[in-house]
Structure formats: C-alpha cells, structure tokens
Amino acid sequence: MKVIKAIYNFIVGDMVILIGVALAIIVLTLINNVGALAPLKGFSGLFLIIAVLGSLVASLSREADIWR
Amino acid sequence: MQWVVATAAFLASAVEFVEAFTIVLVVGVTVNWRSALLGALAAAATLALLVATLGVALVQWVPLDILRTVIGTLLLLFGLKWLKNAIMRYAGLKARHDEEAIYEETQAELRARGEVDASSSRFDLFGFLLSYKSVLLEGLEVAFIVITFGLSAATSTVSRSSGIASAALGALLAGLLVILVGALVRAPLANVPENTLKFVVGIMLTTFGTFWLGEGFGGEWPLSDVFLLILAAIYLGASFLLIAWLKQVKKQQQARARESQSVPTPAQTQEVKP
C-alpha cells in the first residue's frame, strides 16, 4: 500500500487530475471501439484538450475553495 | 538531436538539480565534502543505471502504439502536477521553494545531531546517506522525464534511443551547469527562477502528453507536429487566466480576513457601553 501511495504521489498526487485523465481515457477508448460512437472520432482531439483543461480547472477550484 | 526534448529535459533537470545541490552543499559545508560528493556520485550512478535499464527495456520490447498511449498518459499526469503547482505558486496559494531556508533548516538539523566535525575528511555515513537520498529523490523525477520525454519523441523517422539520448544530454548539461555555478558561488542557488522553469516544463509536458495520447488513440492532429505550438499556446493562455482568477480569490480571502479582524467582538462592544 505504501509503495502504491508513493508512486501515486510521485506521478500525480492529485485525485481530481487522476480521475479527470482516467475518464478522458475511458471516453476515448469507447469512441475508438464502439461502432455507434465512430462519428465522434474526428472530435477526439478537441475532447482530450477540453478534458485536460477541465481537470486542471477542477483541481485548482478545489484548492481555491479551501482558501475561501 | 531532438532539440525540444533536450530543452525540456534541461529545464526540468535544472530545477531538480538546484534543489538537490542545496542539500549536497549543506552536507559538504557542515559534515564534510568527501561524504557529500560520494553520496551525490553514488546517487548519480544509480540514476544512470535506472535510465539505461528501464530505457533500453522500453525501447526494445514495447510496441510504439502502446508506448505512445502509456507515455502520453504519464506525461499528461506529470505535466498537470507541475503546472498546477506552478500556477498555485504564482497566485500565492502555495509557498515558493526557498533554497536559503532549506539550507538553514538542514544545517540546523545536522548541527543538532552533534558529532559534526567539518574539518575532518573522515567518511560520515549519515552525511553520505543524506546526500545520496536528496540527489536520488530529486533525480528520480529527472530520470522519469528523460525516459518518458525521450521515448515520446520517437517517430517513424527518429529512433526511440535517439530521443532518450537527447533527453539524457539535456539533463547532463543541466547537471554540469548547476555543479559549475554551485562551485563558483558556494551558496544555495536562490536566484534561479525555479517556479518559472517548473511552469515552462509543466506546459511542455502537458502539451506533449496531450499530443501523444491523442495519437496513441489513433487520432490525427490538424497541421501535424505544428499543432504542438497551438496546444502549448492554448495551455499557456488558460494558465494565465487561471493565475489571474486565483490571485483574485486570494485578494478576496485577504480582504475578508482583514474585515473580520477590524469588526469588534461582542465583548469589546459591551466594554464601550456606559
């Protein structure tokens, strides 16, 4: 458990960012593998950028809330 | 030679080496230089071994498509962590790294331990381990960046080992520069703009992470590699907006704190009444 926590802290150390990036990867996997979602493939880059910015904003909002 | 990779590795390594240098310096001055330098050299050898073994293993056995997705994800996570911390430091929500304070603190800790004879050149295990640990911990981030960033540079025309070599060269130059400046100054390198370097590296790692993760999922970016510049501009612009917003939050918080201090408490109000 200590090793996992050390790796988590070393690589990301922020649950909001981790969940945001993980969700983005899940959605991208679905877009790539589910036939019904294939028309969205052209927007996967745009979706990824929005997901990255969303994760950053969400993580910083949480920090700002602590200060409020 | 991959200049972008080498530059990113150089900047990231410079920050980490400055932090490690402070501890090596304090061990050298307070305990003795023999133990401090042996600890730093042993840690550098450990890191070189790590980059060589892990780097070669990844280069030889992992397919490029899988590697792009994994490396893209790791770069993105790592980059967002650096970027978030740099934004918070710019906004004043997180304390900046103060090398002089760390130097004083570590020196006080070492002196409190007693049995310190700086004039002696006898090998000191505690000094060796402290120096080794600080260089290894700070260097692990450098090793991680060298491997991931070096591998991310792999394309159909550029080999993966060439990317790692470029990143390693950037890191090596940063290490030599820090050692050279440190040897001349003989004081904590407090004037290095650590947060600016971390901010730039955070933008670079996040940009490349997004790019490679997108490609790992079979996506194609408009304008091909030129889109890296557009991505960097998007993240840079968003970061400046976030810094401005967080500064506003901090100002509001400080104003509220001042107001709550100036409003008299019920006890004070009663005292004034006749």
What confidence tens digit (pLDDT) does each residue in B173-201 have? 888 888 888 878 777 777 778 888 889 98
pLDDT at B201: 86
- B266/A contact by beta carbon, under 8 A: no
In this complex, the residue of A13, A49, A64 whose CB is nearest that of residue B246 is A64
Tell me how far apart the alpha carbons of residues A32 and B229 are, in angstroms, rounded to a whole number. Answer: 26
Cβ atoms within 10 Å of B103's Cβ, excluding its own:
19
In this complex, the residue of B74, B83, B214 whose CB is nearest that of residue A45 is B214
Tell me how far apart the alpha carbons of residues A55 and B254 are, in angstroms, rounded to a whole number. Answer: 27
Q: What is the ipTM of this complex?
A: 0.92
Residues 25-54 on A with a CB inside 8 Å of B are: 25, 28-29, 31-32, 41, 44-45, 48-49, 52-53
Q: Count of residues for chain A?
A: 68
pLDDT band for A57, please (50, 70, 90 cuts). very high
Tell me how far apart the alpha carbons of residues A27 and A38 are, in angstroms, rounded to a whole number. Answer: 12
- A13/B contact by beta carbon, under 8 A: yes
Residue B81 backbone dihedrals phi, psi, to 5 degrees: -65, -50
Residue B31 backbone dihedrals phi, psi, to 5 degrees: -95, -85
> For residue range B135-157, what is the model confidence (pLDDT) as tens digits?
888 888 888 888 887 777 655 44
Residues of chain B in contact with residue A49, where contact means CB-CB under 8 angstroms, are 210, 231, 234
Mutation pick from B76, B78, B89, B199 vs chain A, by most beta carbons of A within 10 Å, is: B76
Among candidates B150, B154, B146, which has minimal Cα distance to B216?
B154
- B258/A contact by beta carbon, under 8 A: no
> For residue range B78-101, what is the model confidence (pLDDT) as tens digits?
899 989 999 999 988 888 776 777
Among candidates B106, B99, B97, which has minimal Cα distance to B29?
B106
Counts for chain A of helices (H) and strands (E), in that order? 3, 0
Residue A22 backbone dihedrals phi, psi, to 5 degrees: -65, -45
What share of chain B in percent tops pLDDT 90? 14
Query: Taking CB atoms and an 8 Å cut-off, how many pairs form between chains A and B?
Result: 86
pLDDT band for A52, please (50, 70, 90 cuts). very high
